[in-house]
Structure 1
Amino acid sequence: MNHFASIARVPGDPILSLMEAYRADSHPGKLDLGVGVYKDAQGLTAIPKAVKLAEQRLLDSETTKSYIGGHGDPLFGQLLTELVLGADSQALAEQRVGATQTPGGTGALRLAADFIRHHLPTRGIWLSDPTWPIHESIFAEAGLQVGHYPYVGADNRLNVEAMLAALNQIPQGDVVLLHACCHNPTGFDLSHVDWLQVLEVVKARELLPLIDFAYQGFGEGLEQDAWAPRLFAEALPELLITSSCSKNFGLYRERTGALLVCARDTEKLLDIRSQLAFLARNLWSTPPAHGAAVVATILADPELKMLWSDELSNMRLRVASLRDGLVTALEPHGLAQRFAHISQQRGMFSYTGLSPLQVKRLREEFSIYMVGSGRANVAGIDAERFAQLAQAIAHVCVE
C-alpha cells in the first residue's frame, strides 16, 4: 500500500517564497522589502546589546535545562504582563490577569484559537480586512467561523466609519480581533478617539476582544502603544491579549510570547488557566525557556531595561525616518502627495498603494521585492538608496 499516494503539494507561503526568490537574485542592487524583520543601517537583523548582555548573564548563572511548566517562566509572565498593562493596572491589582507563555505571538494566537473553539464553541471570530494572512489560517484551522470587518479600503485609506458599522452588526458575544498598534499589514492605526468608539461597540454588542499586540514599542513608544490594551483591560471584565517579543526584543527565532487573559475575578481566572494549561499540553507540552529567560532578565534589571528601551526607541525612530525619507525622495517625481500616507503609518509595514502589477514590475525590472498586495517592510529600506527606490517607484507608476 502506498500510504502517501493521495497527498498533494500545496503552494509555498508567499512571503517565504519571496525570501527564496530574493536570495536567488544575483542583481547587485536588489532590495528586500518583503520579510517582516527589522533591519539596521547595514541591512542586518542584529541582536540588541541588552539581549547579548542578558544571554551572557544566563550563560554564567544557569544551572538547569529542566522544563519550565505549562504556563512557562512565572517571572517572565509577571514582568511581561506589567509591560503590557502597566505595573499600576487595576486588573493586576485585583489578581484577575494571568499570562501563559507560548512559542511566539503565533503560538499565543493558536492557543487563543483553541481556547475559543473548545470553550466558546458557538462564537465566530472577526478579523480586519485586510489582516495578517496567518490570522486567517490559524483560526480556520482551529475550526472557528471566520468573518471580516472593513479596515482599509480600495482607496488605501483607513475607514473607521465602515469598521464601526460592521462591528455593530456582529452577532452578540462573538470574538473580534484587534491590532493594538502597527497594524499588520497596512500600518494604519486607530486614534484614541477611534478606540473609544470601538470600545463602546464592543460593550454594546458584548463582544470578546482579542487584541494582537505584536509590535509594542514600534509605533509611538512602549507606554503609548499600550494605550488601547490598557483601556480595554480597565473597561472590560474579560479580555484576551496576545503578546510577542519577536520584534521589540529581536528574539525572532527564540519564539517568545504569551497569551494574557483578563477574567472577572481570581477564581474564574484559575478556571481558565487550568484549561489553557491543558490545551498547551496537547499543542507543545511546555514552551521554550531561553527567550523568556532573556526577557525576564532584561525587564528585572533597571540598567538592562533602560538599555533595551533606548535600543528599541532607536529602532522606532529609524523606521519613522525611513518613512519620511522615502516620501521626500518621491517629491522630485511629483509623487510625494500620492504616497504621503507612508509617513502617517506606524510600525514596520506600509500598505504603499502599489498594485500587484506594479509590485511585479518592481521585482522583475529593478529587483525590489515586496508582497504582492503592495505591503512593504519599511525597515528594509536602505537610506543610502532612497533615490534609487523612488526612481523605480516613479517608473512603474507611469500610466
Structure 2
Amino acid sequence: MGSQLLDAPALPADLAFGLLAEVSADQHPQKVSLIAGAYRDENGKPWILPSVKEAKQRLAADPTAHHEYLGIAGSPAFLDIARSLILGTEVAERSNVASIQTVSGTGANHLAASFLARHLKPQQVLIPDPTWVNHKTVWEVAAPAVAQKEYPYYDPDTRSIKFADMIATLETTSQPNDVVILQACAHNPTSLDLSRDQWKSVAEVARRKKLFILFDSAYQGFATGDVENDAWSVRYFTAHLLSSPDPDQRIPGLCVAQSFSKNFGLNGERVGALHVVAPPDVSLEGTHSQLSLIARAEYSNPPRFGTQIVQTVLSDPGLRQQWQQNLNTMSDRIRSMRKQLRARLEALGTPGEWSHIDSQIGMFSYTGLSAGQVARLKQEYHIYMLPSGRVSICGLNEGNVDYVAESISEVVKAGLT
C-alpha cells in the first residue's frame, strides 16, 4: 500500500528554472542569460531600488518594528494602497471591492482560480495563446475541474496581435460566467498590448457574453514608467462594466492579481494582492471570508517585510516620487537595450525584419527565433533564452549586446529553423 501511495509519476523540471540551473552551471566566460523576468542593471546585477533601500533603512531604525504575524487577509493599510494604485483612488473608493494580501502575483492567481472554481463554477477558463508559462499550471492545480480553452493572441507571421481571431473566439466559444485571463500591460511573453480601442472591444464582448475577467497585473509602472497608463485597462473595465444599476450592462465581476515583484525589485519578498470587484448591489462579505479560508489553509499569513517596504514607499510622498524615478530608470534602460539590439542586428545585415524588438513593451521580447536557433545559441554561444524565442531584455547590457547580436545574426544567416 505504501509503495502505491508513493508511486507518483516524475514530472519534467520547470522549463524556466531548469534553464536557470543550466546557466548557473555554465562556466563559459561569455555566457548570457536572457531568461529570468527580473530587472538587472548595466552590470548584470540585481538592482535594489533607491526608494526601497531608503524604506529598508527607515524600517531598520523604527523601534516599533517587529516580525509578528499579519492577519490572514494581510495589512489593511497595504491593501488600501495597493487597491488605489491599480484601480485609481476615485475608482477604488466608489467600487465594491474585497481585497486580500497574497504570496505575490502567483499566489493571487492561484487564490483567484481556487475561489472562482468553487463559487463561480465556470465551465471554462479562457487563456491567451501564448501566455505566462504558469497560468495553465495554476489553473490545472487550483481548479482541475475547469476546462482550459486557449484564445488566439499572437500571430508569429506578422508579429502582431491576432485581434480579430481573439474576438471571434471569445464570441463563439465562451459561456456566461466563464473566466477570461487578460494581462493588464506588458504582455508576457509577446510584449504586445492591446490598444485602448481594442480593450473597449474586449470589454463589450465581456459585457454581452457575461464573462468574468481575471486581470494579471505584474508590471504596473515597470512597463512604460507610467503607473497610471499601465493600469488603464483595469480601470476602464472596473468603471464601465460594474457600476451600472442595470444588470444587462455589467459583467458578473472581475479579479485583479497584483504583483509588486517587478516594479519594486522585490522578487524574493513575494508581495502581492488579489482584488475581487463586484457590482454595487452584491455583498462581498462572503467573498472575503472564503478567500481568507483558502489563504488560512494554504499559507495562514502573508509575508510582512516586503509588504512594509511597499507600504512605506507608497505612503510617503517623497519616497513615492523617488520610486517613480526608479521606474523611469528601469524602463528607460530597457528601451535603450531594445534600440541597441535592433540597430546591431540590422547593421549586421541579419536576415528578417527586426523592428518589432524596438516596438514591443516591457522587459521581454518575442524575437521570432525558432526553437532550433535558440538551441544553437545555447549550445555554441552559451546564450540562454526560452525555446519560444522569448528573451528578457533586462539581461542585455553594454558589455554583451554586441556579442548577443553577432551570435543571433550568425545563427539566422546559417538558415537553421
Structure 1 residue 384 corresponds to structure 2 residue 384? no
- Establish whether residue 182 from structure 1 lines up as the match of residue 225 from structure 2: no
| 8 Å CA contact retained: 2:346, 2:354 | no
1:10 correspondence with 2:11 = yes
8 Å CA contact 1:328–1:336 kept in 2: the answer is no
Q: Is the 8 A contact 1:356 1:372 kept in 2?
A: yes
Cross-structure match for 2:300: 285
Whether the 8 Å contact between 2:109 and 2:257 is mirrored in structure 1 is yes
How many Å apart are 1:96 and its aligned residue? 1.1
Structure 1 residue 377 displacement after superposition: 0.4
Distance 1:5 1:254 in 2: 33
Tell me by how many angstroms 1:391 deviates: 1.1
Distance in 2 between residues matched to 1:318 and 1:344, nearest whole Å: 15
Check conservation: 1:38, 1:379, Cα contact below 8 A. Answer: yes
Question: CA–CA distance in 2 between the matches of 1:5 and 1:227?
Answer: 48
In structure 1, what is the equivalent of residue 245 of structure 2?
A: none
Deviates more, 1:113-122 or 1:246-255: 113-122
- 1:339-365: CA deviations, max 9, x gaps? 211111111111110000000000111
Greater CA drift, 387-396 or 335-344: 335-344
2: CA distance, partners of 1:11 / 1:348: 27
Correspondence 1:316-327 to 2 at 5 A:
316-327=331-342
Q: What's the CA shift string for 1:255-312, capped at 9, x where partnerless?
A: 0000011112376122211111111111111111111111011100001111111011
* 1:201 is the counterpart of 2:205: yes
The match for 2:78 is 76
C-alpha separation between the residues in 2 aligned to 1:33 and 1:124?
33
SS state at 2:213 partner: strand
2:147 to 125, 142, 145: 145
Q: Which amino acid aligns with 1:223?
A: E
CA drift of 1:151 comes to 0.2
Aligned equivalent of 1:226: 231
Match of 1:26 in 2: 27
Q: 2-side partners of 1:285 and 1:124: how far apart? A: 29
CA distance in 1, matches of 2:292, 2:280: 18
Task: Kindly provide the amino acid, as one letter, of the partner of residue 225 in structure 1.
Answer: D
- TM-score normalised per structure 1: 0.96
- Aligned residue for 1:228, secondary structure, equals helix
Residues 323-348 of structure 1, C-alpha deviation per residue, up to 9 Å, x if partnerless? Answer: 11110111122238612111111111
Does the 8 Å CA contact 2:77/2:311 hold for their aligned counterparts?
yes
State how far apart, in whole Å, the 1-side matches of 2:399 and 2:61 are: 40
Give distance in 2, aligned partners of 1:258 and 1:137. Answer: 19
Q: Which amino acid is 1:112 matched to?
A: A
Q: CA offsets per residue over residues 347-391 of structure 1, 9 Å max, x none?
A: 111111000000000011111000011010011112233222111
Give me the whole-angstrom Cα distance separating, in 2, the residues matched to 1:126 and 1:95: 25
- The 5 Å alignment of 1:29-108 reads 29-61=30-62, 62-89=64-91, 92-108=92-108
Note the C-alpha offset of 1:45: 1.1
Alignment partner of 1:330 is 2:345: yes
Contact kept in structure 1, 2:95 and 2:277, CA below 8 Å: no
SS in 2 for 1:138: helix
Tell me what 2:241 maps to: 236
Label 1:265 to 1:7 Cα distance change in 2 as closer, same or farther (>3 A).
Answer: same
CA apart distance, 1:124: 1.5
Shift of 1:60: 2.1
| Matched letter for residue 7 of structure 2 | S
Q: 1:164 aligns with which of 154, 167, 171?
A: 167
Distance 1:284 1:5, change over 3 A: closer
Change in 2 beyond 3 A, CA 1:266/1:70: farther
For the residues of structure 2 that align with 1:216 and 1:224, how far apart are their CA atoms?
8
**Amino acid in the other structure paired with 1:309:** Q
> Does residue 173 of the first structure (1) align with residue 180 of the second (2)?
no
Give the whole-Å Cα distance in 2 for the aligned partners of 1:8 and 1:139: 20
The structural deviation recorded for 1:205 is 0.7
C-alpha contact 1:95 1:266 (8 A) present in aligned 2: no
Provide the identity percentage.
39
State the Cα distance separating 1:186 from its structure 2 match: 1.0
Aligned with 2:215: secondary structure? Answer: strand
**Matched letter for residue 386 of structure 2:** V
Kept after mapping to 2: 8 A contact 1:327/1:336: no
Tell me by how many angstroms 1:218 deviates: 2.0
3-state DSSP class of the match of 2:154? coil
Instruction: Name the CA distance, whole Å, in 2 between partners of 1:56 and 1:41.
Output: 24
Correspondence for 1:215: 219
Are residues 1:273 and 2:288 paired?
A: yes
* Whole-angstrom CA distance in 2 between matches of 1:79 and 1:336: 48
After superposition, give the CA deviation of every residue in 1:167-192 in whole Å (9 maximum; x if it has no partner).
11212221100000110111111111
Instruction: Supply the distance in 1 between the matched residues of 2:262 and 2:77 (Cα, whole angstroms).
Output: 20
Letter in 1 for 2:233: A
Identify the residue that residue 315 of structure 2 maps to in structure 1.
300
Cα distance in 2 for partners of 1:387, 1:93 equals 50
Give the superposition deviation at 1:11: 1.2
Letter of the 1:56 counterpart: Q
The Cα RMSD (Å) is: 1.5
Bigger mean CA deviation after superposition, 97-106 or 378-387: 378-387
Whole-angstrom distance in 2 between the partners of 1:261 and 1:141: 21
